[in-house]
Chain A
Amino acid sequence: MSPFINFLSATTNGIAILANAVGTLVVLGLVLLVNYDVVARGFFNSPFLGAVEVVQFSMVLIVFLQLPDVCRVNRLTRSDGFLTVLGTKYPETANILRHVINGISAAFMAVIAVAIWPEFVKMFETKDFFGVPGVFTAPWWPVKLTIFVSAALCTAIFALKVLKAREDVPPVRLPEGEDSR
């Protein structure tokens, strides 16, 4: 494998891990925010007015900041029984199949990125917002930008997986943080 691809792969992986850490903090923020709203509304009768919009926005952040890392560690939902069995008998064929799969995945992620880009440009120019006017509103463009960057990063990660000669995938995925990971 060429050193250049190695370098690119290390770079995209680094960005994915960083984005993942930020997304992780958003999860914590979500827990705290909703609890704050419950207490403020239930005990002090003064709900946080933008709760719904902020929750919606944090869902976008959680999903799309973490998606590249999910792709990096092969944790997108799949059923790999056939691949595993194939790998034990014909490792070469299985390896080719994995490359084809990563190629298709890169193509689909690229489609998402291309589809969402004009939407971002439009929203950035018009400054459209969501939420209830007068109560709480948030602009659309950061949402679209997050999705675009995420999809572009996923495309790069999958494309670089295709260029690598071989990837080692553990046959059965345990919950994270378990011994064998």
Chain B
Amino acid sequence: MTPVEIGIASVIAIVLLVYLGLYIPIALGVVSFVSIWLMRDNFDLAMNLVKIAVGDSVMEYTFATVPLFTFMGLVVSKAGLGADIYEVMNSGFRKVKGGIGMATVGANAVFAAVTGSSIASASVFSKVSVPQMLSYDYNPRFAVGVVAGSSVLGMIIPPSAMLIIYSFVAEQSVGEMFLAGVVPGIMLAIAYVIAIWAMGRFTPGFVGGRSGEDMEWMTPGEIAGKTLPTLLLIVAVLGGIYTGWLTPVEAGATGALLGLIIAAARGRMTLKTFWQALLETGHITAAILFLITAASIYSRMLGLAGLPNELSDLLNGSNFGFFWIMFVYVLLMIFLGTLLDTASIILIVVPLFLPLVEPMGLSLVWFGIITVVGAEIGLLTPPLGISCFVIKATLDDDRIKLKDVFIGAFPFAVVMLIVLILLIRFPSLSTAILN
């Protein structure tokens, strides 16, 4: 077999093994190790590449953003900031059809600016807003669909673990990726609210529910108490990065400490929850960085096989335009999204497509936003919509089946696709904030 054939075979083998349930970093590592060995018929070279990848990739300074932002996110969830924002939004939207749904979207968007994980958002809001929607007679499918759909905002609005991972693969600055995520994230949130309004107007049966006339207005003091801590965090973190006063690593550390102080001041942090948050931070960091390590063996393997260059020659030779390349890319993302989790999709697919996109003069920051949004659609689609699984597991309510979560999330996946197309068509939506 030629190196290119081995390369293609190993990409297919990785997807297959991951689907069978092999740990993703192990699949990336083992297959790449074996194919480098076969390609060059050189065991020592393969060992050497493993050694370099494992020894060096973790030493990247910007990777400290992963534990820092993860810790900040966990602390603020445990401090109940997400639930607070939700209550404020809810009192604002209480007279609107589908209002609790809109409040959930809005609260998710704000909460996303202090956490980097869709999973955290999904589990917080399925406990807070789904029970309330059910008690106001909303359609259960709609209730869980809203939570699933809006949990995706966590990964697009900065700080986001996925944007950090992409910035590593594509060698872009984490700060720029974060800033580029702001407008698309807000756009998606607005699109969701419009979609909920439209569903309430044209398919009221799917939304259900009655307006919350009996809910009370909050006093300005209450509103301030519930929103100011979160706003302070957002200003410190994103403002620090935007003004250049803090590097992303420093912003993460500052945010983590501020979050801790807020949680302690409100008496929401016991020694036990504090230790739990630290422990989980460590687990998540180790899992993500080990995945990145394995992916760096994989991208070295692709380079040796010459697969990315081959792919770009193929596409250039066949005169595929921008439209078709993007079409194929999005289709691939959505397909893989049904099998793999977002981080793995980014790590597997981006190294293949970068050499294709770069010579076209397209912005790699923009490409990252497209990639993350595209891969996130898969969080909402069966059979492996991870957000949907988390919601089902957190609710633990026999009346709501996994199928219901997927059906409820479907309209939101469609809205995401529409927003994705807009983002592809108008790159300045992502990049304008950088200039």
Contacts and interface: CB of A to CB of B under 8 A. Distances in A.
B22 A78 contact: yes
A104 interface: yes
B59 A78 contact: no
B33 A111 contact: yes
Range, interface on chain A: 35 or more
B384 A79 contact: yes
A31 B383 contact: no
Given A34-B250, A62-B285, A108-B26, A177 B59 contact: no
Given A27-B67, A66-B283, A101-B26, 13 more contacts: A20-B282, A20-B283, A30-B253, A31-B253, A33-B253, A34-B254, A38-B253, A55-B249, A59-B63, A65-B282, A80-B21, A98-B21, A176-B280
A12 interface: no
Interface string A1-31: 0000000000000000000100111111011
Contacts of A59: 58-60, 63-64, 67, 289
A176 to B, nearest CB: 5
Interface string B363-404: 000000000000000000001100001101110100000000
A24 B29 CA distance: 26
A67 B288 CA distance: 10
A135 interface: no
Contacts of B26: 76, 101, 104-105, 108
User: Which of A30, A83, A130, A172 is most buried by chain B, counting CB atoms within 10 A of its CB?
Assistant: A30
A38 B286 contact: no
23 contacts: A24-B278, A26-B282, A31-B260, A34-B68, A35-B254, A56-B60, A59-B58, A59-B64, A63-B289, A66-B283, A69-B283, A69-B286, A73-B283, A79-B339, A79-B344, A81-B383, A101-B26, A111-B33, A116-B55, A119-B51, A172-B389, A175-B119, A178-B123
B23 A105 contact: yes
A35 B256 CA distance: 9
Contact of A104 (B30, B51, B64): B30
Contacts of A176: 276, 279-280, 283
Given A24-B279, A62-B282, A115-B47, A147 B389 contact: no
Contacts of A56: 59-61
A27 B285 contact: yes
A66 B282 CA distance: 6
A177 B280 contact: yes
Which secondary structure dominates chain B's binding surface?
Answer: helix
Which secondary structure dominates chain A's binding surface?
Answer: helix
B120 interface: yes
B390 A83 contact: no
A71 to B, nearest CB: 9
- A-B complex: 4 closest residue pairs judged by Cβ atoms: A34-B253, A83-B21, A66-B286, A76-B23
A172 B71 CA distance: 22
Given A20-B279, A59-B58, A115 B287 contact: no
Interface in B286-345: 286-291, 339-341, 343-344
B287 A108 contact: no
A73 B279 CA distance: 13
B20 interface: yes
Contacts of A23: 282, 286
A112 interface: yes
B79 interface: no
Contacts of B181: none
Interface string A69-90: 1100101111111110000000
Nearest to B260: A31
Contacts, number: 199
A132 interface: no
A107 interface: yes
A144 B54 CA distance: 10
A97 interface: yes
Contacts of B285: 27, 62-63, 66
Given A70-B283, A115-B50, A174 B390 contact: yes
Contact of A178 (B246, B287, B394): B394
Contact of B24 (A38, A78, A175): A78
A147 B30 CA distance: 18
B249 A147 contact: no
User: Which of A31, A59, A104, A177 is most buried by chain B, counting CB atoms within 10 A of its CB?
Assistant: A31
Given A66-B282, A115-B50, A82 B20 contact: yes
Contact of A63 (B18, B275, B286): B286
A180 B20 contact: no
A110 B393 CA distance: 35
A152 interface: no
Given A82-B21, A108-B29, A144 B55 contact: yes
Contact of B393 (A34, A62, A64, A174): A174
Contacts of A116: 51, 54-55
B283 A27 contact: no
